[in-house]
Amino acid sequence: MLKESGLPRTVTLDTEKAELVIIDQTLLPNELKLLRLIELDEMCDAIKKLRVRGAPAIGVAAAAGLYCLAERYDTKNEDEFFQKLKADADILNATRPTARNLSWALEEMISCAESHKGKGVVAVKSALKAKAKDVEEQDVAVCKAIGEHGAALLKDGDTVMTVCNAGALAAVEYGTALAPVYVASENGKKVAVYSMETRPLLQGARLTSFELTENGVDTTLICDNMAASVLAQGKINAIFTGCDRVAANGDAANKIGTYMLAILAKHFDVPFYVCAPYSTVDFSTKKGEDIIIEQRSGEELRSLWYEKSMVTKKARIYNPAFDVTPAELITAFITERGIKKPHEL
């Protein structure tokens, strides 16, 4: 979270204890609880069950988590060490298929380990520790840079709309889509936010509204089906969203409902910006239809936020976690390298 809020980092590596520390986002906004993870199964559970979520945060968690696992390998044999390391990386990588930062961070860790191969297990562990912390600090710097580029697009008194949560809770600090709002605020601009509820997991209601208000930002929560009505009233100056994976052609996968919002933005002539680290761009994926879309349990719709099920058992449930916004609907990407049109990535 932003330092001014007094809240802890969303995800961090405790280098002294070799523990992955995360905010349990499933308990927010009612309880702020830190989890300390050292076991592979609890790390995988945390990612799958969205205790840690958001593409940048997942990447940082995977990097830190892999180091924490490696630190506890009871072997001095390099071949055995690397066999365990790669096996654990593969298991972590399989937890959520859509977010590019997860695989990117693990690739960075494996590459780091291999560059120190032959120097002994102790040296490899030390290198992994430094690399995991570097991934964490790099995330802060990248998100701050995204915020600086995005804040330049905002004027004092502007109001933006966002979907899901791509703020400080989706990264180490600042986040992506909300970083421009936070940096603008730090620069003395007053920027208000309309936060979409974001069914079925309510990231906008539970997380975005929580962190924005904790950081003193004027926040209005709306249901997803109210977006068109609000846009029609001319209240929104820009839309900022995050992104989990960008294809080489500029198509972008983000939380389900983003595609709908992009279509509405086009209709009402409101600029639609996707904020993402450059590491989110997957040049090996040619177009959006090639992105694997995570399918989640129907119980998230049927009963997760209800005291008892509100859906008949006879109804089938389709619950994709993401949708893909075509490049032609995206005004620009805001990255740490600047503001780029989809064809300029």
pLDDT of residue 163: 98
Where a domain ends, among 107, 125, 144?
Answer: 144
Helices (H) and strands (E) in the chain, counts: 11, 14
Q: Are residues 218 and 292 in the same domain?
A: yes
Section 18-41 average pLDDT: 97
Q: Are residues 208 and 67 in the same domain?
A: no
In a domain, 251, yes or no: yes
| 323 vs 260: CA distance, rounded Å | 9
Q: Are residues 64 and 172 in the same domain?
A: no
By the 8 A CB rule, do 317 and 326 touch? no
Tokens 């958001």 belong to residue: 54
3 state DSSP class of 98: coil
Per-residue pLDDT reduced to its tens digit, 130-167: 999 999 999 999 999 999 999 999 999 999 999 999 99
The catalytic position among 88, 244, 251, 323 is 244
Q: Which domain holds residue 309?
A: 154-344
Per-residue pLDDT reduced to its tens digit, 157-200: 999 999 999 999 999 999 999 999 999 999 999 999 999 999 99
Residues in CB range of 121: below 8 A, 6 or more apart:
73, 75, 76, 77, 78, 81
Say what percent of the chain tops pLDDT 90. Answer: 95
In a domain, 237, yes or no: yes
Section 39-57 average pLDDT: 96
pLDDT of residue 1: 57
Q: Which residue in 232, 337, 321, 344 sits closest to 54, CA to CA?
A: 321
What are the residues facing 333 on neighbouring strands?
A: 274, 340
Q: Are residues 115 and 172 in the same domain?
A: no
> The whole model's pTM is what?
0.93
pLDDT of residue 3: 54
| 42 vs 48: CA distance, rounded Å | 10
Across 89-113, b (16+ Cβ under 10 Å) vs e yields: beebbebbbbbbbbbbbbebbbebb
Q: Which amino acid is at 70?
A: A
Structure tokens at 26: 């499933």
- Give how many domains the chain has, as a whole number: 2
189: domain CATH number? 3.40.50.10470
| 69 vs 56: CA distance, rounded Å | 20
For this structure, is 244 an active site residue? yes
Per-residue pLDDT reduced to its tens digit, 7-23: 899 999 999 999 999 99
Mean pLDDT, all residues of the chain? 96
